Structure formats: C-alpha cells, structure tokens
Amino acid sequence: MRVEILLIPVLKTAEKIKMLEVQGARNIAIVAIKAIETLARETKTKNKKDFLKELSEAKQILFASRETEPLLRNAVRWIISQVERSEEEEVGELAGIVFSSSKTFLENLEDSKEKIAEIGARRIGSGSVVFTHCHSSTVTYLLSKAKQEGRTFEVICTETRPLFQGRITAKEMLELGLKITLIVDSAARFFMNQADFVIVGADAITSQGNVINKIGTSMIALVAQEARTPFYVVSELLKFDPATMYGDYEKIEEREPNEIWRNPPRNLVIRNPAFDVTRRDFIHGIICEEGIISPHSIIEVMHRKHPWVFK
Ligand code: RUB
C-alpha cells in the first residue's frame, strides 16, 4: 500500500504524458526523469532491493505512458542502471545516485540540443525557406539559433492534424519575429517547391536508420523526394531504440478516435496512429550531436557514443 502511495507522483506524470499535457520526445523524457527524482526523494524503502523494486515499478508505469518514446526509456533505464551498478547499500546514498545521474543525463541532453542547433543552424542561409511538420522543440531551438545568428529566413509549417501541434510551432516562430506560413497538411506538395529543405524532429530512430516521427512525416518525406527538396531529421542520438536491433519493431502509438471526430456516426471506423515511419532512403541526413550523419551509420555512431544502450 505504501509503495502505491509513493508511486502517485509517477502515475500523475504518466497521466500528463498520456493526456499530452507534455508533448514532444524531449519534454516527455525530462518530466519522466523528474518523476524518478521525486520518487527517490520521497522513498520510504529501507534497503536496496526494495528501492530498486520501487524504481522498477515506476519504470513500467512511465514506459507505458506513451509507447513510441525510446528517449524516455533510455533515460530511465540509464538512471536505474547507475543505482544497480553502485556498491552502495544505503537508500539515502542510492537516492543520491539517482539525483546525480539524472543531473548528468539532463546536462548531456541540453548539451546535445546546443550542438544540434549549432550544426543545423549553419545549413540555414539568409533568404532560405524551411519546411517543418508538427512541433519539435529541437527544430524550433535550431531555428531560433539561426535567427540569433542574424540569418533572415522563412518557415512553412503544416498545421498537423488532428491535434494541431503546428500551431505551437507557428506561435513560437512569430514570437521570434520570423515569417511563418501555416498550411493544411494536404498542401505539403503544393508548397514543397518553395522550400529549400525540410527539417523535422524525431521520436525514435531504428537500428536500420529509419525515423519515427509525427504522423504525416513519411508522406512529407515522399513529397520532398519527388520535389528534390532535401529532407533532414534533427535528433539526439538517444532517441535510438536498441530493441529494434534485436528484432522488435518500434511500436506505433494509436490514439483515441475522438481526437479526429468527437461525435462520429455510429459504426464508423476511425484510426488515429500518432506516428509513422520514414524510411532511411528518404533522409538526407540526421542532424545529431555528433554532426550530420547518414541514417545508415546509426549503429556505428551509437556503439561509439553510447555503447551502454546495447547492454
Ligand atoms: C511530437 C513530435 C515531435 C517529436 C520531436 O509529437 O512528433 O516531432 O517528439 O520533438 P507529440 P522534440 O505532440 O504527439 O508528442 O524535438 O521536442 O523531442
């Protein structure tokens, strides 16, 4: 019973993630890390075994909140592994390991965001037109960096049905003083020739270098290829899902039909996948903290930078 009460903050965070009160892979991972920190701060467990059991329950709850989020999974797994590996037995000390590990993880995440923005912003010359889809905090930070560096450019953004995350992007770009044009998703081909390149975020990268992002991304990649417009993905390397290496497919979250139509006619089948898979052949490059890499090289880069994800 006591364990369940302590898990309430974790359950609340999971609910917030599920209900999209927090959106985007990075933000989701950050609140999940904070929930683990809270659990460690408030734990009443008396020994390492019970503390690890509590952490493991929290992990399961957070993993189930949204299924297409390997950054969240990698973050939580890494923090818990630091506790498992520690020789400490005292719960207070182990909680300290949770705090220091989550601090390190968050600092590295921030550092990656900076590096990605620095590298990606160089591609945005004055006068260029950038096409994006949905709302990715990594993309908008990169665009803000290019703006800060004095480049003037325009953005075209899809509204991103059914939940209109494109409006969040549009508002942020307006606040930055950038010219942004919002279009319906199905106008992507109509406007693609006006764009110099497409930049989108990512929720997951598979072992084959395919990228999973907001539904509609793969259609935009297809359109971009037909229009010969380069298509880039910006992503922290830790959005890589190691399970895809060992045969699992990345699960695609399917959300409630009422996001699409609140009062539909009876017997109507409505499907609402949140993400889709863009094959690596459509991707010019993944802009990550290591530079602009080919999707084909993801395994090699992961082995070099984050070998622990394969363990
Ligand atoms: C958001 C989405 C974003 C990625 C990357 O979907 O698909 O492009 O999560 O975002 P949702 P970030 O609104 O369903 O969470 O770069 O911020 O990690």
Task: Record the tokens describing residue 257, joined without a space.
Answer: 């039909």
Global pTM reads 0.96
Q: How far is the CA of 188 from the centre of ligand 1 (A)?
A: 19
Q: Edge-to-edge, what's the strand order for the sheet holding 129-132?
A: 179-183, 154-158, 129-132, 197-200, 231-234, 285-288, 291-293
Q: What pLDDT is attached to residue 229?
A: 98
Residue 1: predicted pLDDT: 44
Mutate to test the pocket of ligand 1, among 165, 217, 220, 250 (most ligand atoms within 8 A of CB): 165
> pLDDT tens-digit profile of 133-192?
999 999 999 999 999 999 999 999 999 999 999 999 999 999 999 999 999 999 999 999
What parts of the chain have a pLDDT lower than 50? 1
Whether 50 sits among the annotated catalytic residues: the reply is no
Active site residue 281: no
Around ligand 1, the residues with Cβ closer than 6 Å are: 23-27, 134, 136-138, 165, 201-203, 213-214, 274
Count of C-beta atoms within a 10 Å radius of residue 37 = 19
CA of 87 to the centre of ligand 1 (A): 37
From 134, 157, 241, 288, the catalytic residue: 134
What are the backbone angles phi and psi of residue 166, rounded to the nearest 5°? -60, -25
CA-closest residue to ligand 1 atom 7 = 214
**Which residues contact residue 245 at a Cβ distance below 8 angstroms, ignoring those fewer than 6 apart?**
207, 299, 310
Gap from CA of 36 to ligand 1 centroid (Å) = 21
Q: What is the mean pLDDT of the chain?
A: 97
The pLDDT, as a whole number, for residue 6 is 74
How is 117-176 classified by DSSP, letter by letter? HHHHHTT--TT-EEEE-S--HHHHHHHHHHHHTT---EEEEE--TTTTHHHHHHHHHHHT
**166 Cα: distance to centroid of ligand 1 (angstroms):** 11
CA distance 168 to 166: 5
Sign of CA dihedral 42, 76, 235, 116: positive
Report the separation in Å between the CA atom of 70 and the middle of ligand 1, taken as the mean of its atom positions: 12
Catalytic residue among 111, 196, 203, 281: 203
From the CA of 165, give the closest atom in ligand 1.
13
